């Protein structure tokens, strides 16, 4: 699938980008793997890890808000994995224009550059916070998702295909609650916003594998959602620090009690497969009109279906989480 291809990862020095790079080099033989990010220090550190292996990697300083730089970076690229985003909820609320420029206008820049440069496939990463959003980060990612899905209508003769993968909280990613709780253990107390809170959880490797699956199956316009387990925030706290006292501090602005990966309004366009759901676009273009027939094997979800963290049929126990955290990379 990626052998002989020129692959570019935006936000490639982040948690996802580093894991994706590791798995691409382990399982495939790309002609070139381009890491695009705006952090030269992280690129330097990543080069020390991967370049001594004589791997086909190049690093590109750039920002998705800079359309000219994207046009240069996408020259000759076959596949783009778009992981760059401004994703911290409080930072997005305090810097709303920057969140819009990165997550929305950045998506527009990716779409235009990919089509004009003849990129074959673009996969964009989304989040559960894009479903029925209550904060600016979620709203910008919902808009980004809509842009990438609708981007297929702009491809024309170029035939660039755009699809989206959406999942929940990534274990061990920078800024997530797991490393935060780990840092609080020495204090003997963990702050909990609301004891009823539940979240979806996915490992970095599972997130990357979902992208690989989407690249294999996509025909343009699909939104891929994995079947992943939920866990309550109090159970998570017990798994990380069973002896800590829990301080219930109340919900922060922009938080939900539960998260949703597929809304009820999308159920009419959703098919269920063994390990994932697939949401088809409401509008069809020549690039995706036959997508359902090509995939095959999926079944429509029931009317009124909603995939939410508190009604999930897959749950992590405390022991499950302890096992997953043994070798958890926190980067």
Catalytic residues: 129
The residue whose two tokens read 């009604």 is: 311
């Amino acid at each position: 699938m990626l052998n002989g291809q020129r692959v570019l990862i935006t936000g490639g020095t982040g948690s996802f980008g580093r894991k994706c790079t590791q798995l691409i080099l382990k399982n495939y033989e790309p002609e070139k793997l381009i890491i695009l990010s705006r952090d030269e220090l992280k690129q330097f550190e990543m080069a020390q890890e991967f370049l001594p292996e004589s791997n086909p990697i190049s690093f590109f300083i750039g920002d998705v808000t800079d359309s000219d730089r994207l046009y240069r970076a996408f020259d000759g690229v076959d596949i783009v994995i778009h992981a760059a985003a401004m994703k911290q909820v409080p930072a997005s609320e305090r810097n709303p224009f920057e969140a819009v420029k990165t997550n929305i206008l950045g998506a527009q820049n990716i779409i235009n550059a990919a089509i004009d440069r003849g990129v074959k496939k673009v996969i964009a990463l989304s989040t559960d916070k894009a479903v029925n959003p209550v904060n600016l980060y979620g709203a910008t990612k919902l808009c980004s998702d809509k842009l990438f899905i609708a981007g297929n209508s702009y491809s024309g003769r170029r035939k660039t295909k755009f699809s989206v993968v959406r999942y929940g909280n990534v274990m061990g990613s920078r800024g997530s609650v797991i490393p935060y709780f780990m840092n609080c253990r020495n204090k003997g107390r963990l702050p909990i916003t609301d004891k009823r809170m539940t979240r979806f959880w996915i490992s970095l490797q599972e997130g990357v594998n979902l992208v690989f699956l989407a690249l294999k199956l996509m025909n343009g316009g699909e939104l891929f959602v994995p079947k992943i387990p939920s866990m309550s925030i109090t159970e998570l706290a017990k798994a990380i620090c069973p002896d800590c006292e829990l301080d219930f501090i109340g919900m922060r602005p922009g938080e939900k009690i539960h998260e949703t990966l597929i809304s009820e309004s999308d159920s009419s366009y959703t098919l269920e497969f063994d390990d994932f759901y697939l949401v088809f676009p409401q509008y069809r273009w020549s690039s995706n009109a036959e997508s359902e027939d090509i995939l095959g094997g999926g079944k429509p979800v029931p009317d009124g279906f909603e995939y939410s963290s508190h009604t999930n049929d897959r749950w992590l126990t405390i022991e499950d989480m302890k096992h997953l955290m043994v070798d958890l990379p926190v980067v």
